[in-house]
Structure 1
Amino acid sequence: MSWGLCYSSQDHTIALPLLHVKAVANLKELAAQVKITQTYFNDTDEALEAVYSFPIPARAAVCSFVMIKQDETRVLGHVREKEEAKQIYNSAIAQGMLAALMEQRTPDVFKLAVGNIQAQEKVHIELIYVTELAEDEENDSIRFHLPLHVGARYGETPDAQAQRLLQTSGAFLEILVDVEAVAPIAKIGSPSHTVSTELGPDPALPNAKELPFSNYARISLSSESALDKDFVLTVKSAGLDAPRCIAELHPTLPTTALTLTLVPRFKLPDVSRQEFVFLVDRSGSMNGARISAAKKALVVMLRSLPAQGSLFQIASFGTGCTSLWEDGSRPYNQATLDDATRHVDGMNADYGGTEIRKALQKCFETRKIDRPTSVFVLTDGQASDLDGVFKAVKGAVANAPAQAYLRVFVLGIGNSASTAMCEGIARVGNGTCMMVGEQETSFTGKIARMLKAARTPLITNIAVDWDVPAVEVPTAVDEDEEFVMVHDEEAPDSKGKRKEMSVFDETLDPLQTENQPAPPPPEVVLSPPAQVQQSPFKIRTLSPGNRLNVYAILQGKTVPQTVALTGLAEDGSELKLSVPVTLSHLPNVLDSPPAIHALAARKIIQDIEDGQHAITTSVPGDADLLARTVKASIVRLAKTYSISSSQTSFVAVDESGTQHASPPVSSIPERPQMKGFARAMKRTPFLASRKMAQPRARFFAVPDSSTDSDGGASIEEINAAAASLRSISAQAGSELSSQNQKLDLLLDKLSASSSQMISTASLASDSVGAPKADEKLNNFFMTSRSRAGPSRTADPLPMDPLETLARLQSFDGCFAPGVLSTVQLNVPADEARAALGVSEEVFATIIAMAFLSTKLGPDVERESWEAIYDKARAYVEMALKSVASTVGVDELQAQAVSYLAD
């Protein structure tokens, strides 16, 4: 897939020079409103029609598109049904008008076609989207993620004229972020880039002096060149995890939108018997730091499983799928834990492509059905068949027995991991999703949250009472009938009598057939929107430590005083929380809908696309009618709240009166400064059309480690395909030996080039903004990576103290005596053990517990090591009970803390 503004010339795709990129984001509460403006220059002597593709997070709602001409005229985009938008665009192009069409390709990739860009003119593309913010590694912290793939992939040096424009326009990339927190900001920074941070509100605000200084911050980044990775900003402030509900009145419509958010904190007994399946992506693109991150996550997760009643399995997938134990999951004990650890240490990214649907189906088919199952997917990729993947997950979850329910969790690894796929699988799988950037060296808090959610029993009957008056709440029948059918019945005549018809008309031939097209299906007429439209339509996941976001659009302007969240635990306990509602006064960006309404509408549409809705037909079993009703419901929501969707597009037409002839694409000459790029393109066949050029295959001159959802291939995937080609060639017979030798020579060159690029990219990623290890903390550890066995993976992540300790813990929680040669003490080990009066195993475990609870440092959240600690504590308690000890665990741990070196 091509990122940036491109056009087709002589069957090749050419990129227009990208002169400037500016991103302005406003972070308030737990949402962000982002405006991205990109400036392109048509340096040819012909009018062009070009294509612009860009990525955004799947959880975001694109709510505004503006095309700005060189004379500063703003051409606004309007939301129309997809086919209608295409017709408007094509008609405008045929008339020689400047026009643009923006449509959704996948939930996290959008495409814009711009027609009749005049020669030697600049075009500004302005996009606005709103997105909710994800939780970060620590408690009370959030993460803002800005994809930068557009500027990174097509920021080649333009020709002399464009270069002069670039020099006069200043920096190539500008990022400006304004942060407003509900409490003083405790920590703010970027793990991906070096930024400039200034505390306090923007002095330009009229009431700046009245605002609390420590609750505001301004972050900026300026670069003269394109960046090669996404921008990430983290903010920590007290109360970000606290429950809150924000209401927003629509400025023109009679509706009120609300967002309820919190990070739950409650304690329930763990699920007593459960199966854990770890599905690991080992495709070629996982090479380097990504496979190392997956292995590190597995080491900690395996030690965090409950010691009693657990079965587990490790499956690896790429082009195919294999399992550690082909006969199924095995009981969790020391022998199976050792086998699994050796298996993890030997993992490499050598499984070819990314066939995630087949791998998931295999896991679902081989799971145990006598207990709940949690599947953990660790991947960096994306699927070309998202609908098929979601369908497989939804079907497996829906068909699971009530007492053996299925949940699917996802850990997305790397900057190119598809948020649409990762978050989508977790959403329809009733699990949670965490994303880990390539520059992150510590993410144990994220995997700990996932495991905690998996160990928490299923909460049922989760509902939100939006405090809507009873008389306004639709009945159950109304919720299931969101539309009515209009039947075209025979109308009576003016006298109230029906028209008479002869039973035997001699003028008609009963054997004669009329060659007429079938009548169009009757139009779907939707009922008025329900009084409460909520997303998630049915809340299926509520777990400690994992943020819950619920949205609603209420008809009317009445703002509720409070909302109530309720749920039912397996033991019959009722969970309940009442949250007061605060009215938002957040100003809206010009030409953009209100943020909470846009996000709520996006989430409701997402539910409808997932099949989570109350839409039914008055004709049971009519699949066609259901599909048309679903489409009509999506279109109505998207048009009402001005957002792009799978069924709607933005279309903008400059009707100022200036018209130009639309030139044929083949008449556009090749630009001199792009000759090298064009020569690379000539090695790849393209489908060229006047509207858009879609590649059949891709061999880019520019390194690109990401994967595509529409057939593009990264260098890693080329290597994976090469492995398949070798296999096919070998099976073809000895007569192909000479061809095989030539192929091997070519592929070896490709592989060497790929490895060098991947290694360079990984080193660059690790060196920019990566947190430094605490020297005092590292002094506690005397071991190195050799303890984990040999590793053939390039650029492994350094083993942190938590992973080192985790590898020394047995399945039952006991720590090996190796802890005593790893953790430094201020007294001889024999003397400390004698003072505690416990066995060698208990002593090593107590020392490990003391270290975990006091020496990991403030940056390592308790939930990162809580499961490991709890297993160790349970082991010590049982050991002390077996010898009738009168000394408690807390007393022993407190004494052990005093023996730890400073």
Structure 2
Amino acid sequence: MATTCGLRTLKNEPVPLKSVSVEVDVQGHVASVNSTLQYENQESNPVEAIFIFPMDSNAAVYRFLARIGDVEIEAQVREKEKAKEEYDDAISSGQEAFLLEESDESSDVFRLSVGSLPPGQTASVTVGYVSELAVQADHALRFCLPAVLNPRYTPAGSKSLTAEVPGARAGDVPYTLSLTMDIYSPSSIQSVESNCPLTPLEFFSQDKTQAKVSLSPGHQFDRDVELLLYYSEPHQPMAILEAGQPGSLMGDTVAMLSFYPEIHVEKSSPMMSSGEFIFLVDRSGSMGCPLNRSNDNESRISSARDTLLLLLKSLPLGCYFNIYGFGSHHESFFPESVEYTQTTMETALNKVKSMQADFGGTEILPPLQNIYSKPCLPSHPRQLFLFTDGGVGNTKAVVDLVKRYAHSHRCFTFGIGEGASSALVNGMAEGGSGHPQFITGSERMQPKVMQSLQYALNPVAKDIAMKWNIPAEVSVTPLSPPVNVLFNLKRVIQYFQLTGQNASNMSGSVSLHYIVEDKPFENKISLNLKPDADNSMLLHRLGARKAIVDLEGKVREGDDKSAKERAVELSIQSGVSSSYTAFIGVNRENKEPVQGPLLSRVPAATAAALGVCARFFKAPSDRGRQKRAYDTVSRASPGPRASCVGLQPAKETKLIFKKMTVSGNPKGDTVHWVDVYCNYTKNICCVFPPQPEFSSVWATVLAVLWLHGYKAESRDEWQFVAKKAMTWVRAQSEFVANLGLRE
């Protein structure tokens, strides 16, 4: 079931997120977004709030700013494991800290952690990102602010991305959304439409190239917010140059080139009556959910059926086709693709009408592997159409598989309903040289479906190349992957890094060359090589994001051993997020540690996984204490080492921690607690190296950790025993050298 991304407590009560305000600045086809989340801790204890939210997969997140009272904290990009360790260390010490990280598996899911927020305190966090606006079938530019995050089905053996997504109910979102959009267009703005109520469009120039629009007041952020911008000349080619900032990796000029190729082919082209069309339809249980919150009567599977019926009726005679349904298992209408005739069409139509969301989970890899295992038909280029609500946990594995077979087919995707994964829908289409579509309402379904079918029927453009006509002293380095597919009037955006140009008004041009059906085409853009005086660095960030995503793909392919290091370096130096880095901010202005036990606002399953809670390092955070305890044990213990900071205790050690946790809070006095400590000594002696002095040290450390974690309210009774015990531990010089323990 779809869920809005508000956080709820273990008692199913709203967390202290009070409001979300969004400022959008649209420059032509690029949107710069600053989204501010306002928190307020109304509890009597410090809280740690976890907020998991969706994001446009093509967005370049470049800013993370936190405000606590009068203190402003600008977060920095760090290697992810180092950022997590810094965050845990901060809240373990009672400091206020903020962590923003992109999911390892899907680029459209982010996790925000707000740690050690004191009682009665307010805090705001601002996330800044920039993204390109997608062009729709009716030539509108689409901006979407996602609010719905559908649970991602995760295959066995994989980690769930959305296990911590809370269960906020529709109409019960504890915060509101305010959104304002300023628009600057190269041509006049005709209108702005939305699925949510808007204020009247307000113009600020006579030529209607500057305007402002807002959501109507009081909007509850319980659904995706979609705005469609209509320009008078949406297909205008352009080149924008942006100056760099000295001293950074992206210090040179970055050029964004936007082409709109016009491909004219003969109507009698053989491609119009050929092709193998394979339709892959998601029939998992989530496809039975409503298409959107404004229309509970139409389900996602019914929208997919309508879309598929339209496509089946529109296929050209002479082609071949087949239809697959997938969920926990998959099945096809025909053993092999069949020729498209009146008889086979009617057979397929009848089967489509009976399709239901009754296949369980969302295992998309097996049907894809089955499709790719079948040989392509001669003279019938394969076209794959996918219909899904985008709820899978192995997104990157799916995208990588599609890319692996990009030479033998084109992949067109349809994201059905609110919350469809943009990482999956966009990634498969881009990796498969196709085109993505998002269907959130039936009123725009038909033109989108027909646009994708028209793209599929178009012949393939070959020998695509960029040719530059610029002074010899200017060198060009591509930031985007090479263009491998072109469709008629489908925008193509490429980013390049230019070095060597001076401040004079040098001019030049760049051309997009390609061949369709043995006919050469050329699209040319003139350049003024003096960059605009703009310090926003938006194009640099978009270009950096393109380069980072390309490097991440090379890491997964395994053919470039240095790709990960280059991706991390580029992410840190450009300040743009990646799956290998995270934003970390710590309030170092607060000299007084936050006092009191920290309430972690996470679901029960996650809270249970935290294990032992100890205050060995005077830490108010359960999560931070657990991390420190495990780290302390793991630094000298045998066994695998692969936790969030690169260390993991031995399996047996974890069992001991678990036993100590299960034992709960035994009744009695300090003598009983010492008995509990002694009872574990025998087990501990079996876990660690054979030196007897090490066994005694480990037993002492674990016992003190347990006392701090489970008998904190009786600290006055055991603090001297614990202090004496740790004094003895520090006296064991070899052990101290191993652990690095300090006062």
Query: TM-score, normalised on structure 2?
Result: 0.72
Residue 99 of structure 2 is matched in structure 1 by 101
Give the aligned residue type for 1:108: D
Deviation, 1:569, is 2.5
CA contact (8 A) 2:243 2:532 kept: no
Q: Secondary structure at the match of 2:444?
A: coil
More strand by share: 2
Change (3 A) 1:445 1:457: same
Instruction: Tell me if structure 2 keeps the 8 A contact 1:51–1:692.
Output: no
What does 1:872-891 align with in structure 2 at a 5 Å threshold? Answer: none
The residue aligned with 1:639 is 572
- In structure 1, the partner of 2:84 is 86
Closer, same or farther: CA 684–659 of 1 in aligned 2, 3 Å: closer
Secondary structure of 1:377's counterpart equals: strand
Q: What is the rounded CA distance, in whole Å, between the counterparts of 1:378 and 1:566 in structure 2?
A: 32
1:345 and 2:349 correspond: no
1:542 paired with 2:540, answer no
Q: Tell me which residue corresponds to 2:25.
A: 26
1:534-683 maps to which residues of 2 (within 5 A)?
A: 534-535=479-480, 537-556=481-500, 561-569=507-515, 571-581=517-527, 594-611=537-554, 626-627=560-561, 629-661=562-594, 663-665=596-598, 668=599
2:184 to 160, 180, 187: 180
Q: Is 1:364 aligned to residue 368 of structure 2?
A: no
CA distance in structure 1 between the partners assigned to 2:491 and 2:52 by the alignment: 31
Tell me the residue number matched to 1:228.
222
* Whole-Å separation in 2 of the counterparts to 1:305 and 1:348: 23
3-state SS of paired residue (2:69)? coil
> Quick check: 1:300 aligned with 2:313?
no
Instruction: Please name the residue that 1:448 is paired with.
Output: 450
| Distance across 1 between alignment mates of 2:451 and 2:27 | 24
* Pairwise CA distance, 1:534: 2.6
How far 1:433 moved relative to its partner? 0.8
Paired AA for residue 583 in structure 2: F
Alignment of 1:429-448 (within 5 A): 429-437=432-440, 439-448=441-450
Letter aligned with residue 148 of structure 1: A
Equivalence for 1:138: 138
Letter in 2 for 1:359: P
- Secondary structure at the aligned position of 1:569 is classed as strand
Q: Which amino acid aligns with 1:344?
A: V
Contact 2:7 2:168 in 1 (8 A): no
Matched, 1:127 2:134: no
Residue 413 of structure 2: aligned partner: 410
Residues 212, 249 of structure 1: alpha-carbon distance in 2 compared, 3 angstrom cutoff: farther
| SS of match in other structure, 1:443 | helix
Letter in 2 for 1:299: L
**Residue 354 of structure 1 contacts residue 381 of structure 1 at CA under 8 Å; is this kept in 2?**
no
Which residue in 2 is equivalent to 1:205? Answer: none
SS of the residue corresponding to residue 428 of structure 2 reads helix
CA distance in 2, matches of 1:298, 1:692: 51
2:256 equivalent in structure 1:
259
- Determine what percentage of the aligned residue pairs are the same residue: 28
Going from structure 1 to structure 2, the CA distance change for 1:464 and 1:49 (only over 3 Å counts) comes to: same
Cα distance, 1:312 vs. partner? 0.8
Letter in structure 1 aligned against 2:72 = R
Query: Contact 2:178–2:218 at 8 Å: present in 1 too?
Result: no
User: For the Cα contact (< 8 Å) 1:26–1:33, is it kept in 2?
Assistant: yes
Shift of 1:318: 1.4
Query: What is the alpha-carbon distance in structure 1 between the residues aligned to residue 342 and residue 244 of structure 2?
Result: 59
Query: Deviations for 1:416-452, whole angstroms, at most 9, x for unmatched residues?
Result: 1000011011111111111111x34232222222122
- The structural deviation recorded for 1:369 is 4.0
For 2:583 and 2:607, locate their aligned partners in 1 and report how far apart those are by CA, in whole Å. 30
> CA shift at 1:240, angstroms?
1.4
| Aligned-residue offset at 1:292 | 2.2
| 1:502-513 equivalence runs, <5 A | none
**Structure 2 Cα separation of the partners of residues 596 and 580 of structure 1:** 18
Aligned AA (1:220): S
Decide whether the 8 Å contact of 1:182 with 1:240 is kept in 2: no
| 2:59 is the alignment partner of 1:44 | no
Quick one: distance in 2 between partners of 1:414 and 1:348?
16
How far residue 469 of structure 1 moved from its aligned partner, in angstroms, is 4.4
Tell whether the 8 Å contact from 2:146 to 2:419 is kept in structure 1 after alignment: no
Q: Aligned partners of 1:264 and 1:645: how far apart in 2? A: 31
**Contact map agreement 2:474 2:501 (CA 8 A) in 1:** no
Aligned 8 A contact 1:152 1:228 in 2:
no
Q: Secondary structure at the match of 1:610?
A: helix
- Tell me, in whole angstroms, the C-alpha distance in 2 between the residues paired with 1:553 and 1:135: 25
TM-align CA RMSD: 3.3
Change (3 A) 1:368 1:669: closer
Q: For 1:766-812, what per-residue CA distance to the aligned partner results, in whole angstroms no more than 9, with x for missing partners?
A: xxxxxxxxxxxxxxxxxxxxxxxxxxxxxxxxxxxxxxxxxxxxxxx
* Structure 1 residue 270: Cα displacement: 5.1
2:468 & 2:113 partners in 1: Cα distance?
42
Q: Give the CA deviation at 1:408.
A: 1.1
Measured against aligned partners, the alpha-carbon deviations of 1:262-321 in whole angstroms (never above 9, x if no partner) come to 33321223526321101111222222432222122222222332223x111111111111
> What residue is the counterpart of 2:283 in the other structure?
282
- The amino acid across from 1:375 in the alignment is L
Classify 1:560/1:142 alpha carbon distance in 2 versus 1 (closer, same or farther; 3 Å).
Answer: farther
* Aligned-partner SS, 2:201: strand
Contiguous gaps of at least 5 residues in structure 1: 202-210, 399-404, 474-530, 616-622, 671-677, 694-902
Return closer, same or farther for 1:610/1:603 CA change in 2, 3 Å cut-off: same
For residues 67 and 265 of structure 1, the distance between their equivalents in structure 2, rounded to whole angstroms, comes to: 46
The CA deviation string for residues 605-660 of structure 1, in whole angstroms up to 9 with x for no partner, is 111222399x9xxxxxxx69x33x11111112112211111111111111214231
Match of 2:390 among 381, 404, 410: 381
Indicate which of 171, 193, 197 corresponds to 1:194. 197
SS of corresponding position for 1:16: coil
Aligned to 2:320: 311
Flag the 1:173–1:222 CA change in 2: closer, same or farther, 3 A.
Answer: farther
CA deviations over 1:558-600 (Å, ceiling 9, x no partner): 5873443333325332221111236775866xxxx61111111
C-alpha distance in 1 between matches for 2:167 and 2:210: 33
Q: What secondary structure, in the 3-state scheme, does the structure 2 residue paired with 1:196 have?
A: coil
